Each structure stands twice: as C-alpha cells, then as structure tokens.
Structure 1
C-alpha cells in the first residue's frame, strides 16, 4: 500500500487525468479552466524533474518522431497550427518522462487506474444528473448555456442514459468514453489478479471492472469491441507461452497463433460485409470511408513530407477549412491514425511512426513473455502488471484503423509513457531488448 500512497503516484494520476480527461475539463471548465489544468500539470512535472533528476531512456524512434514533427515547421502550410501541435506533443512527452523513469509498473498501473476511475465515475454522475434533473441535451460550457444555438457536434450530453444508454460521459463522445472504459477493463482486471493486491482491494477492483465492462457495452463502439477482442487474443497467446515448458510447445503455440491470425485476415478480406453487419455497421463504417477518400486525395498532393504536423485539424486553416463535413458535423481528424500521419508528415512520417510502434511493441512483447532477471542465474516470477503495456498498446493500435486518438492528448501521453518505461527497463535488464 505504500506504493499507492506515494505522492508521485498521486501526481501521475493527476497527469493521466488531465491528459485522458482533457475534453471533460474543457467541457466543464472552459478553455481557461483547461489551460489552468495544463499549467498545473506542467508545474508538477517540472518540480518532479528538478527534485528527482530522473535518467530516462527515450527510444531513438520516439526522438526521431518528435524531431520530424518539429522540422515540419519548415514546410508546413499552417506554421502557427503546427507550432501549437508540436508544443502539445512535446509537452505530453515531458509529462511522460518522470512517470516512466521513476515509477514502477505497479505504480503506473495504480496511477492510470485512479485517473480512469475518476473519468468513469464522473461520467456516470454527470449523465445521471442530466437525465434526472436537467432532462434535455447539454452543451459544453465554452459554447454557452443556449443549447439551441450550439452545434450538433458539440453535444456534451445527449440525455440518453434512460433512452438507449449510449452515453458520452464528461469527455462528450461515446467512442472516446468507450476507449477509456476498454483500457479500464485491462487495468482493473490486471489489478484484480495482481498477487500484491490486498484481498479487500480486489473486491473494489472487481466492482470497477464491472462498471468498465458496462460502459463498453452501453457505448456500443464496434471499433472498441474489436480492439478488446484483439487484446484478449494477445493475452491468451502470452499466457499460453508462459505456460509452455519446452521449445517444441512454444513453436506449436506460435504456429496456432499464426494460423488464427491468417484466418482472421481472410475473414476480414472476404467476409467484411457480413462481419460489419454483426457489429451493426454498414459498408461505409459510419461514413468513415468517405472521410478516408477525401483525406487520401489531399494527402496525395504532398505525399512525401505531408502538409505539416498539427495533431487535431484546425478548421480555421487550409486545407482543413470545411475539409470534411458529415451530416453537418465538421470533422477534426481522419478517423484513421495512419492516414492522419500520411496527411501531416507524408510517407517519411509513416515510416518513422511505424518504426516507433514496432519497436515499442517488441519491447512490450518481451516484457510480457520473459521473466525479469534478478541476477545472471535467478529469474523473478511472472507478475500481472508485465502484460499491461502490451495489452494497452494492442488495444490502442487496433483502434488506429478507425480513430486517430493515439496521436493526441491522453492516449499519446499513455503511449509515450509506456514506450519510455519499456526502453528504460530494458536497459536496466540486459536480458531484454
């Protein structure tokens, strides 16, 4: 329990909450309130860095990605927007450094879990208040109190808790809330089975796990459900490899996994319409194919280096001014992280980002399937938290096919934290990459 009471864990929980719940802070407190939260997070991070002077090991591929996004200021079609996007991206990495360099995996799990509980808990409370007392849709504070004058895309709550249950929570988007809940399922499940978790605390974690699963089901996000299934498949593979006692058993398990992946690829290729029907989606993937066609056309005008980094699109600058409008809603990202990377940083950006993701996945894989060495001849037992980076990254990576959340704000903070943590731990343990 001392780890849970560590002031650094509390600070990390706040940083995760500001990152992942940023939209909720903006909706509730306005842009000035969100700015104050970012300022507080920055001060906490700087004090943390000054006091502890950590020695993190940033992956070279992450450094290359940060450098490329900053260099895009040179050729950006919207330098001011690029400067803002780069600043936000680098600030998130700054937040990640002390967390990754000074906290254990268990402490990171506790901090992330605390942030997710606050977001889910406040989301339920908010939607309950709207449905019981307000009884009409609610707009974010920064749009003012006149709902009739606000845009459909800016609905904070649609007042549907007792109608169809597809709530948006404090983050104001059902898919974003579903992603929070899906990551929470992974974190809470790992905490529930962690051998160091007190028995009484496990009951608490079980309750929150039920809540997280409930939110995933209520939000009915097909992309999130597919991502959770992918994470579950990866978990089964890891557990099977951990249980294997011989090299032959591992080869057999690997062969079965490859065959299953091939079967899934064939199913997606030849039976996509039937699978989409099972998920309640049409062939346009809720208009995503239209968005992708437009983005591909614009990206093809600057295919090598892109238009310049921006993260979320800024609709007040070209080429994003009314670039994509679906059912009256102005889109602010490509709904595909890889297309967004190509649009903003071109083929070069795709290569750099792919290398970063692959290297991070490799480190996460070996952290999950290999035991940590205590000495040259002694290995530590497996622990539950060692699979957390792999499962979270898998879930977020699968989601990149339909969302761009991995590139911005909270999930970029989570990815950067895990990448730096994995690299730092790997260098401390020569048996790892």
Structure 2
C-alpha cells in the first residue's frame, strides 16, 4: 500500500496565481479611462456635450477617490514638475483671461486629464500599462470600423452627430460620410474626424507591435489588429499622419541602431546621421512642401493652416508674455471665438499648431514651459529606450520592447503638434503626462517600488534564490508577457 510521506521531496500542489478581482476591476477602469481619451470627440457626437461633461467629471472624481483609497507608492520628489508648472501657469491665467468662462471650463478638462494620467501611471506597472493601452486601442479601432460599416450597410447615407440622418450645409459637419468602401475618399471613424483617427491608428500599430515582440499570446490576433489599424490609418488619409509615420520610422531605426553600440563613443556616428536626416528632412519638407502636399492631396498652405496661424499670431503679439488666457480647445460659443476664424462655414476650435496655440493662450512664458516639458520628456524617453537596463554591476540584461513606447509617442506628438493642437488635450496630453511620470517613477521595467508593490499584491513576486526566480525587487513576468527571445 502506498504511504503518503511526511517529508515530500517537492512542495505540495497549489492553485495557479490569479489576479484579484479588485485588481482586475482597477485595470478595467484604467482601460475605460484610456478609451475615453483615445476616442475623444466620439462621446460628444454620440451622447452630446452635457452627458460627456458629466461622465468626464465623474470619471475624474472616481479616479481621485481610488487613488486616495489605494495609496500606490509615489516618490513625490520625482513628480513631473514641468507638468505641474505648466498646469499651474495655465491655472494662474484665469486671473487675467480675456475669456474667463472658457478658461475655467477648459482648465477643468486639463486638471481631470492630468489627474487621470498620473493615476494610471501610479497604479499600473509598465507591462500592465502597455496591455491596458492595447485593450483601449482595440476598442477604438474595432468601433471605428464597425461604426463605418454600420453606416454603409444600414444607414446608406452620411450621418450627423446624435445619429441624425439629414443633409448638412458642409460635409465637415458629418459624423460619418458613408465612405467606407469609397476607396478614393477618407473615413473618420467614431471620432468623426480623419485627422483625429489617423494618429490614433498609428499609435495602435505601435502598441500592438510592441505587444507582439514582447511575447504576448494570441499572436495571430495581434497581426489582425495591426492590419485593421493600418487599414484605418491609410483610409483616414491624413497628410500630417503620413509625415508622422515617417518620423516614427526614423526614430525607431535610430533607437535600434543605438542599441547595437557596444563601445563608448560608438553612438556618435548614429547621432550625426540622425541629425543630418532630421534636419535634411525638415529642410526638404519646407522647400518642397508644394510638391509633397500636392502629392498627398493637400494644398501647399496645409489646407488653410497658414492663414489661421497668421491671425492667431497677430492676436498673440498683443499680449506676448502672458497671453490672453488658457483655452484648449477654443469654445466656439464664446464671443471671443465665435466667428473669429471660419473654415468651411464652421468656427475654428484650434490654431492647428500647438506652439502657436500656446503662444496666444499663455504667451512666451507658456511656450517656454511647454518646451521644457517636452525637452524633459524626450530626453528621458530617449535614454529609457536606448540604454540597457542596469541598476547594479550586471551589464548584459536584454532590452525590453516596452521601453520603445515613450520615445515613439514623443515622435507622434511633436510632429503632429506642427499641424494640430490635439497634443495639448485628450490622449495627447494624457500619454505625455502618463509616460513622462511613469519613467520618473519607474525608470526600469519591473524594478522599483512602483513596479513591485502591485506584483506582490497579485502574488507575482519571486525570491531570487527560488528556481527560475528573478532579481530582488523585480516582478515575475505575467503569463502573457514572458520573454520570447524576439526583442525589438
């Protein structure tokens, strides 16, 4: 008869480690917040301004309460202080604003977006953050395609915001123009704007590719998501997004070349080549802008943007240092903006250049603060991507594909900001603050208090001396993020 030994040779069997329900709900909430910022104007088009405002404020309050209850580890001395300075200066502009009602309303949006960005960066690890971003982007891409398909199959006509089928005075008013299978025309997705859909589709391609090279499961589905995102990116037909994609490719190639350097000074030649390509590309874009934009189906004046810039800069020159008051975006019902600049019969809601926009709103001081913010973000994101992870004497740790995300997002925002003001709000501002603060709090993937505490709560921490264990202070890889040997 078999006898159960009192001294077994191995540990008794245990159920696999699973995430707690509370943490699953927390991550689900973060996915919803990311989806709200990425989908942008879709909420206004579907539910109206009042409902969207209530949902946005309620979401900010809920995240603030969760932050207080959960109390994630935050190194207060490592907050993104340039973000704090910019938000503080924007808030101070309320005292001299020429449009106080618009300033107060848009400041509320800025505060909530900043709060949500800091909240997500503090409660999710790097792996969870990228995974949550991928989930949110899947919803945006899928709903954009299904919405256009629904209009094509069932409505069979252009549709206005609020699901109203009616004739518009100008096509720019349509939520969807029923162009899904009109291959020579642009589609707009759930945002109702091709210039908003295209950069989000480009971001989706980047995030899904990072997940793919991180060894995530269901790789076939990731390729399908990349294909869908590429389809929406091309069909959006945004000239600015095409140039942004080219810049992202240049940055990605340079980062991968930098990672091959093994000796001090070996990166110098790559930096020189990077600067030459970058400056040469900008010079060629400016000198050949007529030919390039004509080939992309756009005017050499960036579809009327130069005229908008002239009017905005003329107003900025009247108050050069402090500006006229924060207003991102411009509220078209405010008398100061209503009818000021008209495009296609509609009051323009932005300057179509984030630097020009900030110069009018917050003056030279605001532009300087924003420039310092981006400089700090790009600097940290760049070395986060190209430097091998190292916090002790060991110098052979592999690169993580996850570290590519911040620097590629920075490339998107900087190039997009030359022709759009969208990086100043919604997902542009949220990702800038979220990734910037995350790099400061957790400069190494899986290392440090902000990375370890959540893993311990989930039961993922593994001691160094255990078989298959990792370094002290690191979190064990989750089932869908195990290294696959295919680093980017």
Q: 1:265 to 1:126 in 2, by over 3 A?
A: closer
- 1:301 pairs with 2:318: yes
Q: 1:408 to 1:2 in 2, by over 3 A?
A: farther
Partner of 1:8: 26
1:184 to 204, 216, 223: 204
- 1:283 pairs with 2:303: no
Partner of 1:412: 429
Kindly state the Cα deviation for residue 146 of structure 1 after the two structures are TM-superposed: 5.9
How far apart are the structure 2 equivalents of 1:378 and 1:204? 35
Partner of 1:155: 174
Deviates further, 401-410 or 163-172: 163-172
Kindly state the Cα deviation for residue 280 of structure 1 after the two structures are TM-superposed: 2.4
1:71 to 92, 99, 109: 92
Contact 1:18 1:37 in 2 (8 A): no
Contact 1:9 1:110 in 2 (8 A): no
- 1:271 pairs with 2:288: yes
Counterparts of residues 77-92 of structure 1 (less than 5 Å): 77-92=98-113
Q: 1:43 to 1:321 in 2, by over 3 A?
A: closer
Q: Any idea what the Cα deviations from partners look like across 1:57-77, whole Å, max 9, x if unmatched?
A: 421111110110000011100
- 1:244 pairs with 2:265: no
- Secondary structure of 1:347 counterpart: helix
How far apart are the structure 2 equivalents of 1:44 and 1:342? 33
How far apart are the structure 2 equivalents of 1:317 and 1:26? 18
Q: Any idea what the Cα deviations from partners look like across 1:330-382, whole Å, max 9, x if unmatched?
A: 21001111110001001111001000010011010010011222434456320
Contact 2:170 2:344 in 1 (8 A): no
Q: Any idea what the Cα deviations from partners look like across 1:256-291, whole Å, max 9, x if unmatched?
A: 222222321331233222222332222111111111
RMSD over equivalenced CA pairs, Å: 2.1
Contact 2:175 2:193 in 1 (8 A): yes
Q: 1:40 to 1:319 in 2, by over 3 A?
A: closer
Q: 1:153 to 1:131 in 2, by over 3 A?
A: same
TM-score, normalised to structure 1, is 0.92
TM-score, normalised to structure 2, is 0.82
Kindly state the Cα deviation for residue 184 of structure 1 after the two structures are TM-superposed: 0.5
Q: Any idea what the Cα deviations from partners look like across 1:20-48, whole Å, max 9, x if unmatched?
A: 21311221122343234324422441232
How far apart are the structure 2 equivalents of 1:116 and 1:146? 28
2:241 to 215, 221, 224: 224
Q: 1:51 to 1:379 in 2, by over 3 A?
A: farther
Contact 1:374 1:380 in 2 (8 A): no
Partner of 2:192: 172
Deviates further, 45-54 or 201-210: 45-54
How far apart are the structure 2 equivalents of 1:149 and 1:249? 59
How many residue pairs get aligned? The number is: 424
Partner of 2:44: 26
How far apart are the structure 1 equivalents of 2:286 and 2:44? 40
Q: 1:43 to 1:304 in 2, by over 3 A?
A: closer
How far apart are the structure 2 equivalents of 1:371 and 1:421? 18
Consecutive unaligned residues in structure 1, runs of 5 or more: none
Kindly state the Cα deviation for residue 386 of structure 1 after the two structures are TM-superposed: 0.3
2:376 to 345, 359, 370: 359
Contact 1:241 1:250 in 2 (8 A): yes
- Secondary structure of 1:414 counterpart: helix
- Secondary structure of 1:72 counterpart: helix
- Secondary structure of 2:399 counterpart: coil
More helix by share: 1
1:373 to 390, 393, 396: 390
Contact 2:337 2:347 in 1 (8 A): no
Larger radius of gyration: 2
How far apart are the structure 1 equivalents of 2:318 and 2:331? 19
Deviates further, 144-153 or 276-285: 144-153
2:213 to 193, 206, 212: 193
